[in-house]
Amino acid sequence: MNESIVPTLGCFDRIIIFGDSISDTGNMYLLTGKPNTGIGALPYGETYFHNPTGRFSDGRLIVDFVAQQFGLPFLPSSVGGKTQEYFQKGVNFAVGGAAALNNSEFNIISGLNITTQDNSLWVQLQSFKNLLPTIAQGSDAATVMSTSLVFVGEIGGNDYNRGLTTLVPLEKVQTWTPYVISAIGSAVNDLINLGATTLVVPGNFPIGCAPVYLKLYQTNKSEDYDPQTGCINRLNDFSVYHNNLLQQELDKQRQLHPNAKIIYADYYGALLSVYQNATKLGIQSPLFACCGAQDSKYHYSFNHGCGDKQSSVCADPLKSISWDGVHLTEASYHAIADGIMDGPYTDPPLSKLC
């Protein structure tokens, strides 16, 4: 996969990010007291940082590559500081496990009973509103927002994961999608009303290619799988359904806010292209986790995750797509970042924003 970094661009003063573990640069790590297990221990972080940083990967995330290409430092975790100086170049509110819907709304629409700490998009947005006076200290908040690149997501995947990992029928999980999309649209609307003028809203990944779901939903029927990639068709179709509704919602927001740039980032297409071109990219086992349970199909186990004594790490993460069966390798995130910076997976490419 391409490991080059394009020349840095300097058209934004900061990046502000909301989302889940795809973008979390340390919030969950800090919120849980910096545990020495899971994301708080090697091999997480081994490729680039050479130590765990709270990122759910072996190295940098999409947002890290975007920050680098805009000439900005890696984004600090929102729970890690309290001063204007700390947040001067950006802030990251993404938390691993976060959903788009807050717990109470999710429980109502799903019939499930989620009682874990609520780090939802709504909660992240409230935290940002509380922090904005600190970030904007000495200047107008609207000016701060207008000079920021705002990422709203990727978010929504965990709303579905809560159902899919507990084998709630896909048809029922799909009924949650309009509520998830509404929550994302509401956040976009709120941020624009606060002064944001450039927002990137990513879609969801092709979840039918993830080792966790390949293991959980495996069948003996060849027609259930894409013959080119080996991914599960109906799960990828569900991701497409979510992404189509999201794009419709963004069209509505563009009509409401014609002066704002609301950019859809096609994470689905960018990642699917990696699977479709795996052989050309030198990836030998594209559907296997790089870090996972030994001698297990897809190198993934529900009982022994990456970092456990029963797990092992592949020789070269650059030649793997999935890192731990759920999250991606730095190489995959780099490929997606290139696809949204230079095209064709955003319109316009983010590099053209300058």
Kindly list the catalytic residues: 21, 324, 327
Q: Could you give the CA distance from residue 84 to residue 289 in angstroms, rounded to a whole number?
A: 40
List, as one string, the DSSP characters of 79-117: GG--STTTTTTEEE---TT--SS-HHHHHHHH-----S-
The C-alpha atoms of residue 127 and residue 144 are separated, in whole angstroms, by 16
Q: How far apart are alpha carbons 310 and 308 in whole angstroms?
A: 5
Place of tokens 């994302």: 184
Which amino acid, 236?
Answer: N
With residue 189 as reference, give the H or E element that holds it. Answer: helix 177-193
**Looking up tokens 């904005």, which residue turns up?**
132
Residue 38 has what DSSP assignment? G
Angle between helices 103-110 and 177-193 (to 10 degrees): 150
Give the angle subtended at the CA of 20 by the CAs of 17 and 23, to the nearest 5°: 50
Report the C-alpha gap between 205 and 209 in whole angstroms.
9
Both tokens assigned to 233? 């068709």
CA 304 to chain centre: 23
Spatial CB neighbours of 168, under 8 Å, sequence gap ≥ 6: 110, 112
Question: Is the omega angle on the peptide bond into residue 227 within 30 degrees of 0, that is, cis?
Answer: no
Smallest CA-to-CA distance from 151 within 199, 89, 96 is with 199
Beta bridge partners of 225: 232
